Amino acid sequence: MQRSVTEVMMKNMFGIPFAGANICGYYETDPNVNTAQLCARWHQLGALQPFSRQHTGCASPRKDPGMFANIMVPGLNGVSYTDIMRDAILTKYSLQRYFYSELFKISVLNAGVGTIYKPLFFSFPNDQMAYTANPSENVMIGPSLKLSIKTTPVNNTVIDTNMYYFPKGSWCDILHPMDVCVVSDGTNMQRLKAGVQDFQLHLKDGEILVYQNASEIASNATRFPKGLRSEYM
């Protein structure tokens, strides 16, 4: 899962921005790995890659979200791993117009030149810490969004927080708008929640994007509720 981040970044560099990994992995999972936790985290990660799909080999056991409906997340009363995967998929649909817009700009306006899924230093080349921040856990999606997500192995232990880097500026979490924005001076790491249910999407100051409520898609797919999310400082 961790390696898939830089692999998708490299495909963007090679001129293939519409790329993504096989969510949950193509081959059979190591029996010593918590498959439910791995797939939950991988759905969160994969949902925020340009191309998202859950895909496994014929010889591998099924790992689709429905397989984990009866497996509850420890410490989260009544929440299954399927619930976490569902929320991740809904996040992708909520940001679908943003992804489409950025891919359109690359393919049409920029004649195929550009990246959407990239390391921090692509957007902040003069920030020295952007080069040392873990690229698999600090991802820029287009010019506006930063994804902070735990991807390093946890060896089946409980991880509640993780350290992430934010370039200088104000960053507000669009998924948790009531949370305090991260105001970074560009010199320190920031500690954020990193439980199996946690990932953060921060909007850069001065940016605006189209956000739609994917949870309402079933009511009328042609009249998707839309809104604008912005951050001005």
User: Do 88 and 134 reside in the same domain of the chain?
Assistant: no
pLDDT, tens digit, for every residue of 183-197?
Answer: 999 999 999 999 999
pLDDT, tens digit, for every residue of 26-74?
Answer: 776 665 566 888 899 999 999 999 999 887 777 677 788 888 999 999 8
User: Do 137 and 210 reside in the same domain of the chain?
Assistant: yes
Tally of domains in the chain: 2
101 occurs within a structural domain = no
Q: In the chain, pLDDT over 90 holds for what percent of residues?
A: 64
User: Do 200 and 121 reside in the same domain of the chain?
Assistant: yes
- Among residues 66, 5, 7, 19, the alpha carbon closest in space to that of 39 is found at 66
Distance spanning both ends of the chain, measured CA to CA: 35
What is the domain range of residue 180?
Answer: 114-231
User: Do 119 and 225 reside in the same domain of the chain?
Assistant: yes
- Cα separation, 68 vs 178, in Å, equals 30
- Cα separation, 41 vs 90, in Å, equals 14
Instruction: Point out the domain boundary residue: 65, 94, 123.
Output: 94
User: Do 224 and 135 reside in the same domain of the chain?
Assistant: yes
Q: With contact defined as beta carbons under 8 Å apart, do 145 and 209 qualify?
A: yes
User: Do 43 and 11 reside in the same domain of the chain?
Assistant: yes
Tell me which amino acid residue 190 is: Q
Q: With contact defined as beta carbons under 8 Å apart, do 13 and 117 qualify?
A: no
105 occurs within a structural domain = no
Instruction: Point out the domain boundary residue: 44, 61, 94.
Output: 94
Is the pTM above the cut of 0.75? yes
Contacts of 58 (CB under 8 A, 6+ apart): none
- Cα separation, 219 vs 114, in Å, equals 36
Instruction: Point out the domain boundary residue: 35, 64, 94.
Output: 94
Q: With contact defined as beta carbons under 8 Å apart, do 68 and 85 qualify?
A: yes
User: Do 71 and 135 reside in the same domain of the chain?
Assistant: no
User: Do 62 and 122 reside in the same domain of the chain?
Assistant: no
**Ranges 8-12, 21-25, 178-182: which has the least confidence:** 21-25
Which is more confidently placed, 2 or 33? 2
pLDDT, tens digit, for every residue of 98-149?
Answer: 999 999 999 888 876 789 999 999 999 999 999 999 999 999 999 999 999 9
Show the tokens assigned to 119. 């390391």
pLDDT at 232: 45
User: Do 159 and 73 reside in the same domain of the chain?
Assistant: no
User: Do 196 and 119 reside in the same domain of the chain?
Assistant: yes
162 occurs within a structural domain = yes
User: Do 79 and 12 reside in the same domain of the chain?
Assistant: yes
Q: Which domain CATH number covers 123?
A: 2.60.40.1180
Over range 170-192, report the average pLDDT: 95
User: Do 132 and 86 reside in the same domain of the chain?
Assistant: no
63 occurs within a structural domain = yes
